[in-house]
């Protein structure tokens, strides 16, 4: 179970860092970001999270705000995975 949490945490961290890097390129590249190959890679890596965020948000939430929802989802998942990792480590060490 501990290994599963570590693997999920690593996948979540990759998605989180990709989303942050995509946001930075969005700011720096401007209108030419769609022709940027690195931006395309980050967009591809974060597309499942963005689609999930669009799926769970109501329709009145604008598409330009979906990135913030995706960021919140990834940060919340990271906090939960950190808590699970700590719990499993303490349980396995028998420190109770």
Q: Which domain holds residue 53?
A: 2-93
Residue 14 neighbours by CB under 8 Å, 6+ apart: 45
Q: What six digits make up the tokens of 6?
A: 């570590």
**Sign of the torsion angle spanned by Cα atoms 37, 33, 19, 23:** positive
Tell me if 94 sits within 8 A of 18, measured CB to CB. no
| Average pLDDT over every residue of 31-42 | 85
Gap between the Cα atoms of 54 and 67, Å rounded = 9
What are the tens digits of pLDDT across the range 9-25? 999 999 999 999 998 98
pLDDT tens digits, one per residue of 52-69: 999 999 999 888 899 999
Mean pLDDT value across residues 20-46: 87
pLDDT recorded at residue 47: 93
Could you give the number of structural domains in the chain?
1
């Amino acid at each position: 179970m501990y290994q599963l949490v570590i693997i999920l945490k690593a996948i979540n961290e990759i998605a989180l860092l990709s989303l942050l890097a995509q946001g930075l390129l969005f700011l720096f590249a401007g209108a030419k970001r769609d022709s940027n190959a690195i931006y395309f890679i980050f967009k591809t890596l974060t597309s499942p999270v963005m689609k999930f965020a669009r799926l769970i948000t109501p329709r009145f939430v604008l598409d330009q705000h979906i990135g913030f929802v995706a960021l919140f989802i990834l940060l919340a998942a990271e906090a939960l995975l950190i808590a699970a990792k700590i719990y499993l480590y303490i349980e396995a060490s028998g420190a109770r």
